[in-house]
Structure 1
Amino acid sequence: MEDSMSAPVVVAYDQTPHSKSAVAEAVREAVSRGTGLRIVHAYTTVERIPMGPFSTVLPAGNVEPTNRHDAEEILAELAAAIRADQPALAVETSAVPGEAAAAIVAQARDACLLVLGSRGRGGFTGLLLGSTSQRVLADAVCPVIVVHDTPSEPKGEILVGLDIDGPCDDLLEFAFDTAARLGTGLVAATVWTEPWAMAYAARLGDEDGLAYEQARADRLKELLDPWRGKHPDVGVVARLYAAVRSGTAGTCLVEASTNADLLIVGARSEAGHRHANRLGPVAHAALHHAHCPVAVVPSSDDR
């Protein structure tokens, strides 16, 4: 138990459909990784009573022990069901008092992966990413998979979006490892966003434009080749998009996600914010609009 929990898969659970989908994904990940599973449920220590247009917070009193007992019962029932289905899987539970995002982040400090539902209790219909998930993504130091509550038919393909002008090893390691474990193909995509004049030139057959486009393709191949060598059983397709023809990087990846089981994007911290991963426009678009679960992989420099 101790070894399997040294770097567990952690999942947040609050009985909502989104979190139930997250648990199913977390179980699959833990089994395929050969690690343990930790299920986290955050509970409140205060009680709010509506008072007309306002609300009042009652003193803790018996609220904390009552809510803790309820949380522990919820987790025990879920853990028992998982153990019955996966008897070899080491499962631990953690009922944590306080604000959900902070509790989840703290429980995932030693995790190899964190799995979240896209929305929790109180989420507005139509929003694909709830406020708790957004706050967790801002501070999580391990890769995070965000899932929806509507499962889709397996496509047999994982999609990773790469900025080939920046460091890509963390994303590629996660992408190739996931594809190898799950037995899927991998599509590595990058979006050629500048200079726009070169993209137009390539479209018109101009030699300089074509050479620049070929340089982009060569750079993508250079990044992929070492990982192809490490994972020869993973079928890899490289795709190069020109943004002036195909749209923004986020748009390209969201459209391509219709054919994927998982979309993988990166996150990097701003200087001075070591543990606050700032989601750029590509990750933001993916999390709000992708047609499949999304994995956000922080740079190892930020962990």
Structure 2
Amino acid sequence: MVIRCVVAGVDGSRASLKALDWAADEAVRRGVPLRLVHACPWERYERDVDDEGDPISIRAETRVLVAGALDRATRRRPEAVVSTEVLPEGAETALLGLAHDAPLLVVGSRGHGGFPGLLLGSVSLRVAARATYPVVVVPDVPLPDRPRGRVVLGVGDEAGAAVGFAVEEAGLRRAELHLVRGRHPDSHAAGAADAVPAGGSGGSAGAAGGLLIGAAGRDLPPGVTVHRHEATRRAAHALLEAGAEADLVVVGSVHRSGRTGLHLGPVSHALLHHAPCPVAVVPAD
């Protein structure tokens, strides 16, 4: 999967600032530019309005917000190549319109703004459900100062491109990669988790490593160890539990249509509401 830039959706909320920090670290980790994007539908109406000397205009407030986000990003990661952009559209439309830039979008789980729809269950969920690129939602909870060295991948029918994304993230972080597959409570209990170094073989763990190599289309990065967990709990519960010790949980998604439009599956939905760490939703190829 080609990712040409990391985009942080900023709106000045506490959650979006946490997302901004995560995005700055990720941009440096990947060696790609960081774009700070603020959506302001009122901007289209103020383009030709002279707001000089009016400190309470929407445009003036936007300038302060974006400048603050830029300052925060450059202070956190001075080596990052950072740009800012104000889009004269609603948040969902603006973010989905970035698809041609091959981004990794990072948003907070909650937000605020001058128009409705910036709470969890709205913009973040709708964008994650409709995006054709990976979306990372950063929860508004305390995150550890130091990496935990673990990436969790939800293994299921929707894994698809999520496998390659999780492999890449584990390699960039030099982290363990944990494959978690949930089971119905009535299924027979699984044994202890298995592990295999990158390129290793043998037993069920070797099969898990081989699955990853094949699905990712390339060898596992050096130093990445794969762990397989067959959980007796449902997938959402198993991934939430695994996420408590992870830097990132990765799940795949397919677009489902319902009476209210596109939406996420129950596992992704549960994770985005309750995960104790950032969650990456990666659309199927």
TM-score of the aligned structures, taking structure 2 as reference length:
0.77
Q: Tell me the amino acid that sits aligned with residue 4 of structure 2.
A: A
1:185-224 matches, cutoff 5 A? 185-193=176-184, 196=186, 199-200=187-188, 220-224=208-212
Distance 2:223 2:90 in 1: 43
C-alpha RMSD of matched pairs (Å): 3.3
Distance 1:233 1:221, change over 3 A: closer
1:43 and 2:31 equivalent? no
Secondary structure class of the residue paired with 1:251: helix
1:297 and 2:282 equivalent? yes
Question: Gaps (5+ residues) in structure 2?
Answer: 52-56, 191-202
Q: Which residue of 1 aligns with 2:112?
A: 121
Point out the structure with the larger helix share. Answer: 1
Distance 1:189 1:103, change over 3 A: same
Shift of 1:69: 4.2
Distance 1:294 1:280 in 2: 14
The CA deviation string for residues 90-149 of structure 1, in whole angstroms up to 9 with x for no partner, is: 211111123111112213541330000000017xxxx98341111211221110110023
Secondary structure class of the residue paired with 2:127: helix
Shifted more, 84-93 versus 129-138: the winner is 84-93
Q: Which residue of 2 aligns with 1:184?
A: 175
The CA deviation string for residues 160-219 of structure 1, in whole angstroms up to 9 with x for no partner, is: 1011xx36441111111111111221111112349x5xx34x78xxxxxxxxxxx99786
Q: Which residue of 1 aligns with 2:59?
A: 68
Q: Which residue of 2 aligns with 1:250?
A: 236
1:266 and 2:263 equivalent? no
Q: Which residue of 1 aligns with 2:151?
A: 158
Secondary structure class of the residue paired with 1:19: helix
Percent identical residues = 37
Secondary structure class of the residue paired with 1:230: coil
Distance 1:168 1:190, change over 3 A: same
Q: Which of 25, 46, 50 is equivalent to 1:28? A: 25
Shift of 1:85: 4.8
Distance 1:85 1:139 in 2: 31
Distance 1:98 1:112, change over 3 A: closer
Secondary structure class of the residue paired with 1:259: coil
Q: Tell me the amino acid that sits aligned with residue 11 of structure 1.
A: A
User: Are the aligned partners of 2:20 and 2:73 in contact in 1 as well (CA < 8 Å)?
Assistant: no
Q: Which residue of 1 aligns with 2:273?
A: 288
Q: Which residue of 2 aligns with 1:99?
A: 90
Shifted more, 30-39 versus 6-15: the winner is 6-15
Distance 1:22 1:45 in 2: 24
Distance 1:252 1:145 in 2: 19
Length, aligned pairs only: 255
Q: Tell me the amino acid that sits aligned with residue 88 of structure 1.
A: E
Distance 1:119 1:150 in 2: 11
Shift of 1:262: 1.0
Question: Gaps (5+ residues) in structure 1?
Answer: 1-5, 47-58, 204-214
TM-score of the aligned structures, taking structure 1 as reference length:
0.73
Q: Which residue of 1 aligns with 2:79?
A: 88
